[in-house]
Structure 1
Amino acid sequence: MHIQEWLRSLHPGSGIKGSDSEDLWSLLPSLPLSSFSLSSLSLSPSSLLGLGALASLTAYWLVTRPRPMRPPCDLQAQSVAVDGDPSCRRSALLASDSLLEFYYDDTRTFYDMFQRGLRISGSGPCLGFRKPGQPYEWISYTEVAERAQVLGSGLLAKGCKPNPEQFVGIFAQNRPEWIISELACYTFSMAVVPLYDTLGLEAMVHILNLAEITLVICDREEKAASLLENKEKGSTPKLSCLVLFNPFSDALVARAKSCGVEVLELEQLMELGRHNLKDPVPPQPQDLAVVCFTSGTTGKPKGAMITHGNIASNTSSVIKILEGSFVIQQEDVSISYLPLAHMFERMIQVSMFCHGARVGFYQGDISLLMDDIKTLKPTFFPVVPRLLNRMYDKIRSSVNSPLRRALLHYAVRRKQAELRSGVVRNNSLWDKLVFNKIQASFGGNLRFALTASAPISPTVLSFLRATLGCLIFEGYGQTECTAGCTFSMPGDWSTGHVGAPLPCSMVKLVDIPDMNYYAKNGDGEICMRGPSVFRGYLRDPERTAEALDADGWLHSGDVGQWLPNGTLRIIDRKKHIFKLSQGEYIAPEKIENVYTRCVPVLQVFVHGDSLQSHLIGIVVPDPEVFVGWAKERGIAGSYEELCQNPHAKRAVLEDMRTVGKDAGLKSLEQVKDLHLHPEMFSVANGLLTPTLKSRRVDIRKFFQQQIASMYSKTPI
């Protein structure tokens, strides 16, 4: 008799499916074994054999059954009201309202954290890199520490001072030398100022002058040349030395010399340091570690001052949350490809260094990232929603037959059912039959992924948690609170929220009467306070006062809502600034002011969704000129007919893009689709305020159907 039929005869109506072995294992414990006794059974050899098989299967299931992850707190109460105020909450992992500053007694600075990893790993691998088609090569913790001390000594020999008021610029892609340069600064208490291409030349000049930077470390000659261009114009008078990782031409040296700038190879500076080696001057927790300039959307970039204590508390809080579910081991490895100029990637790396783990760098070409991942086989994968969305789309589009599609959907549902019960694994039947190739494309060793920088669709997050078979956490925060202020709780695999406050953060919601958000109703502007909140903006007291109130609360500009289980959901933006899915900030009013210069446009509303990568618009054409304007382009019809005409819409869109390009709008700031609406926004229809400003929330609600329709299509 087949084992399925035999079990069905023992337990009539059990519903055991011959094609689903996981259902079989789930039913074995419920079989009424206690109802059987020797006196009621014929002791035939076949019966004894059957009982033996059942006992063996039951024992096997008990040993191998997947066990749910034990959450560190009650998942229905993940945060605790502070002083009885439900709008102000802190982590349920804390025993009191005292927030967490450090996890290990000896890790209160970035420098301390690396030193702890050095003690754990010593000659073990630390930083990895690869050449095309080659395996990864590794630099040990001992080598990194030695190089950092030598390079730091070289910086001192070039006139840098061993104190946190000394700013050193780093203008390079992710690579081991970036981290060695950063550690060189921290070894002698200097502060780092990361620079990056998308800032633009004007912003770069502002940063170099504001921070009074004399020395910048670059990777390529092209970046050094762009800095020299500003020096030649007299825009950056204090710049006096450029240090390059890559080889450079004699022409660059001559050009630099003509405007009073010295150009050195990294090895030259290292050699200078070897001949002038100094003992480390480690930083204190209150010392400045990094000034992270945000590109912003309007005005000059702001330099967020992040201290070593900020970094220690933020990193320690993540370690605290994960202590029972994901302890970083020396064997763990992370892939570094997200920009080191931003705090998210830096916090991932310091967490790895603190535990003596490894960080492998991509080759610098995003098109080769998947090849780097397959070669590196990371266990830790920091990621942004934009990349997760692409993974989701690629997996779904690769399944083209109805049978395979049905199998994928069924397998995902089965894994999602396990997730709801707290089980996270990659060795189920479905992993072996359906998801093994997906997991292999990421190296096959993933244990942990963290997504941040922008919200992620619940559908995408739930799908990838099932298919990748690893822990995927979501965090929320911003540069000004070092990186994160909320984080998913281990064991809570629900979606639609960004977790509970980190142990280093107290989070409260504040009334926004103009938008009808009130803390008493559980929603309002998200504010945070604690040891991970930044010191302020560099030499900018006015904007510091806008971000930090008198009581030390950082006002995020995001609108949040407390959920019954103590987690936070992001529901809106206080200011009319939002992020796209790739993490880019957009100021819609600036774009709207540009588009109203278009002849056929009377009113325009620009909308972006943080789950989408592009903008769309609602346009009210000017009724006095639209018909004639369209007729000149060979498009006939009444005003109302033209608003429904796809050719007219395309013509308006092309005109807007031309005007936008002439005005200097970036590609991301240009709308990719629009809806033509024949009725003006007005006070009477509730779409304008009495001062004739757009009621953005109401416009968004009014055109909800059109917005959804535009985002469901491929951009024009």
Structure 2
Amino acid sequence: MQLQQWLSSLGPGGGAGTSDFKDVRSMLHALPSCLSLSPPSLIGLGALASLTAYWLATRPRSIRPPCDLRAQSVPVQGDASCRRSALLKDDNLLDFYYEDTKTVYDMFQRGLRIAGDGPCLGFRKPGEPYQWISYTEVTHKAQVLGSGLLMKGCQPNPKQFVGIFAQNRPEWVIAELACYTFSMAVVPLYDTLGLEAMVHILNLAEISLVICDKTEKAESLLANKEKGVTPSLSCLVLFNPISAALVERGRNCGVDILHLSQLMDLGRENLRAPIPPQPQDLAVVCFTSGTTGKPKGAMITHGNIASNTSSVIKILEGFFVIRQEDVSISYLPLAHMFERMIQVSMFFHGARVGFYQGDIALLMDDIKTLRPTFFPVVPRLLNRIYDKIQGSVTSPLRRAVLCYAVRRKQAELNSGIVRNNSLWDRLVFSRIQASLGGSLRFILTASAPISPTVLSFLRATLGCLIFEGYGQTECTAGCTFSMPGDWSAGHVGAPLPCAMVKLADIPDMSYYAKSGQGEICIRGPSVFQGYLRDEEKTAEALDGDGWLHTGDVGQWLPNGTLQIIDRKKHMFKLSQGEYIAPEKIENVYTRSVPVLQVFVHGDSLQSYLIGIVVPDPEVFVDWAKGRGIMGSYQELCQNPDMKKAVLEDMVTVGKQAGLKSFEQVKDVYLHPDMFSVSNGLLTPTLKSRRVDLRRVFRQQLALMYGQAHA
């Protein structure tokens, strides 16, 4: 009788009953009526039924996507090659999320209202926990610093450019906010620009005041002033301690040198009320990293930033909301828009940003200490995480368990379930997740394509949301973004609500919009205003109808997402007339096990490609042993048999990826040292500096082509 009453309570009339329990009820009713149950048996059966009911009630729920995942974008005015987000009601694009958040200043003020005295900016010393500066304190410091800038001759308007030449740290953000508090614009500078480019930027923007972190940077700027090549420079402000000798040196060439505290003192004594900017005002002139030619200054307004940030929030609304207790790790260069947009999004919600110590070798220690919930990354870092996981699994049994666990988690993803508390997470993936702090909720990857294999694998193993975005500085940051609930890989999502995206014909490459392929073009409120004082380059990027031509080649997939398939920029022809997009080929070759980095080179007088390869030092020696070749990493890089083996593996990977025969390299040079930002071979966003790579390896490249003709 008690059993029957309990069963009845599970029915539609019971307080806890739902259709989810039908299977349990059916199972129990199916027991033979002649079965005699003792009290202990009833208790055990009841416990089993209770556990089953608990699992049904608490089992992971699939994510409900905000739109039909089969139609994530829709044609604009019937033109299938031009599309906008399916989240919009019509063709009117999104400018801002709230009426009172139309500028970066407004968005930080919203965070201040939410968090108040809560933590905002975090920093740490070696071996110590993070210390935090509150939203209230950051706001006050920004007003004080901004008042000090005004006392040093800066004007409170968007035509006043202030240079910031420093690594990521709280003072960077406070200095930026100080400029916005008084409607000034920021011009970020960075180490790898080089002397010529730095002089070009200072003169083009007519920068009189630069805020630096280290003495070495101030000395490099003073050297230019002493040579007479940067006449407008008149004041340097340093975060780090300054010497009397440096102050004297500056005085001798007409540059006033102050410590940050001195400028703050000046601001406190002459505190001014904020003069906030308008949406149409310039916020930042972000100079491109200059993979070729002189850097160009992309003019980004407060409205550009507001629309881009608002669009990401719009996509995630009702699905993922940044909370006040969320924290992001800041290590990607603040001189570029990707990291800045992440921070604006965090400040918008009153969340926290913790800075790394400034040494990339200590990043993992910073992550474990900070325990971020939000992790912006570039594909190179995700590739390294993937390779480390794969390299740590040596025995066949452990590899089999890993593969099975990944498949089970990927099956959950395919049904819309994202979690990090499954049996497989506890048994297999917990150590991997702990290495990244153990608290990740959200990862965003951008700046370059990522392998679908790596993306799918890490979505399973890390147990958190991983989104992919696509864009460039000239559209503020992103123009497409993964749709929540769509955990497929191999595309960069659908257009953001702030952007229309169309494909334009590229006849030379046989890409045509009518076939759903072509150059990716963007229009909308997040598209930049042009390049600073460079009408020619602006006209090349922006056509008469306001479309930004990206130089990337994409195609629309049937579900309305965009796939990047080629690159128009950095293209060249081989002697037989075939067009080559080297970056596409490099992305394929980095999936070769022994390859860490690769630079593909071609010459219009030659009929084939060659390459510079940096083998992965963590796997190269063991990979060689597996082929019966012994030696140190350095020795193996000089071994002709190893070069042949690496080349063969690359060609095999290339065939599997569908590279044509003329897209495969015919010879390689194994180089033992990584391309890096510090040696000038990578940009701060970790893209190859192609001009510099050709210059550094000109002898090896010439030798490879010369040997072929010998």
Q: Same fold (TM over 0.5)?
A: yes
Greater CA deviation, 257-266 or 611-620? 611-620
How many angstroms does 1:574 deviate by?
A: 1.7
Go from structure 1 to structure 2 and tell me whether the alpha carbon gap of 1:620 and 1:233 turns closer, same or farther (over 3 Å shift). Answer: closer
Instruction: Judge conservation of contact 1:164–1:191 (CA < 8 Å) in 2.
Output: yes
Pick the aligned partner of 1:400 from 387, 390, 394: 394
Q: Secondary structure at the match of 2:172?
A: helix
Q: Using the alignment, how far apart are the partners of 1:479 and 1:228 within structure 2?
A: 29
Identify which range, 664-673 or 206-215, moves more after superposition. Answer: 664-673
Which residue pairs with 1:665 in the alignment? 692
Aligned to 2:492: 498
Query: Is the Cα–Cα contact under 8 Å of residues 194 and 292 in structure 1 kept in the other structure?
Result: yes
After TM superposition, give the deviation of residue 314 of structure 1 in Å.
Answer: 0.2
What are the within-5 Å matches in structure 2 for residues 51-62 of structure 1? 51-62=45-56
CA shift, 1:406, in A, is 1.3
Are the counterparts in 1 of residues 291 and 691 from structure 2 also a CA contact under 8 Å?
no
- Spell out the pairing of 1:502-517 with structure 2 (5 A cutoff): 502-517=496-511
Q: Using the alignment, how far apart are the partners of 1:41 and 1:557 within structure 2? A: 75
Q: Work out the CA distance in 2 between the residues paired with 1:85 and 1:622.
A: 41
Residue equivalent to 1:74? 68
Q: Secondary structure at the match of 1:665?
A: helix
Q: Give the drift of 1:676.
A: 7.1
CA shift digits 1:58-78 (9 cap, x unpaired) = 202112211111111111110
- Report the alpha carbon displacement of residue 679 of structure 1 after superposing the two structures with TM: 8.9
Greater CA deviation, 610-619 or 237-246?
Answer: 610-619
Q: Do the aligned residues in 1 keep the contact of 2:570 with 2:582 (CA within 8 Å)?
A: no
Q: In structure 2, what is the equivalent of residue 105 of structure 1? A: 99
**Amino acid in structure 2 at the alignment position of 1:352:** M
Amino acid at match of 2:586: D
Identify the residue that residue 240 of structure 2 maps to in structure 1. 246
Structure 2 partner of 1:179: 173
1:614 aligns with 2:595: no
Give how far 1:537 is off: 0.3
Report the TM-score, using the length of structure 2 for normalisation.
Answer: 0.81
Matched, 1:390 2:401: no
> C-alpha separation between the residues in 2 aligned to 1:375 and 1:299?
41
State the alpha-carbon separation in 2 of the partners of residues 208 and 465 from structure 1: 43
Letter aligned with residue 71 of structure 2: A
Which amino acid in 2 is paired with 1:183?
L
Q: How does 1:281-292 map to 2 (within 5 A)?
A: 281-292=275-286
Aligned 8 A contact 1:69 1:491 in 2: yes
How many aligned residue pairs are there?
608
Deviations 1:633-673 (A, max 9, x none): xxxxxxxxxx99xxx9689999xx9xx99x98348974999
In the TM superposition, residue 256 of structure 1 has moved relative to its aligned partner by 1.3
Q: Distance in 1 between matches of 2:117 and 2:139?
A: 11
Rate the CA distance shift 1:618–1:505 in 2: closer, same or farther, 3 A.
Answer: closer
- The aligned runs of 1:667-706 (5 Å cut-off) are 670=697
How many Å apart are 1:53 and its aligned residue?
3.8
**Residues 454 and 34 of structure 1: is their aligned pair in 2 closer, same or farther, counting only changes over 3 Å?**
same
1:229 Cα deviation (Å)?
A: 1.1
Q: CA deviation at 1:402?
A: 1.7
Paired with 2:368 and 2:164, the residues of 1 have a C-alpha distance of 29
How far the C-alpha of 1:42 sits from its partner, in A, is 3.7
Letter in 2 for 1:511: D
Q: 1:556 to 1:157 in 2, by over 3 A?
A: same
* Alpha-carbon distance in structure 2 between the residues aligned to 1:253 and 1:298: 36
- The residue correspondences of 1:295-444 to structure 2 (distance < 5 A) are 295-444=289-438
- Looking at structure 1, the residues matched to 247 and 138 of structure 2 have their Cα atoms a distance apart, in angstroms, of 29
* Amino-acid identity (%): 75
In the alignment, the residues of structure 1 paired with residue 581 and residue 486 of structure 2 have an alpha-carbon distance, to the nearest angstrom, of 38
The corresponding residue for 1:7 is: none
Instruction: Give deviations 1:519-540, integer Å, cap 9, x for gaps.
Output: 1111111001000000000000
Inter-partner Cα distance in structure 2 for 1:677 and 1:517: 34
Alpha-carbon contact 1:504-1:532 (below 8 Å) kept = yes
Q: Deviations along 1:1-36, whole A, 9 cap, x unmatched?
A: xxxxxxxxxxxxxxxxxxxxxxxxx99948952762
**Aligned-residue offset at 1:160:** 0.3
Counterpart-to-counterpart distance in 2, 1:551 and 1:664: 32
- Residues 1:399 and 1:286: Cα distance change in structure 2 (over 3 Å): same
- Structure-1 residue corresponding to 2:642: none
* 1:257 matches 2:257: no
Classify 1:676/1:209 alpha carbon distance in 2 versus 1 (closer, same or farther; 3 Å).
closer
SS at 2:692 equivalent: coil
Q: 1:552 to 1:620 in 2, by over 3 A?
A: closer
**Contact 2:521/2:549 (<8 A) preserved:** yes
Q: Distance in 2 between matches of 1:234 and 1:465?
A: 54
The structural deviation recorded for 1:325 is 1.8
Q: Please tell me whether the aligned partners of residues 107 and 344 of structure 2 are also in contact (alpha carbons under 8 angstroms).
A: yes
Give 1:547's aligned residue. 541
Relative to 1, partners in 2 of residues 1:650 and 1:396: Cα closer, same or farther, differing over 3 Å?
A: closer
The answer on whether the counterparts of 2:567 and 2:581 sit within 8 Å (CA) in structure 1 is no
For structure 2, the 5+ residue unaligned runs are 1-19, 591-596, 608-646, 649-665, 682-689
State how far apart, in whole Å, the 2-side matches of 1:114 and 1:77 are: 35
Distance 2:669 2:302 in 1: 54
Contact 1:615 1:668 in 2 (8 A): no
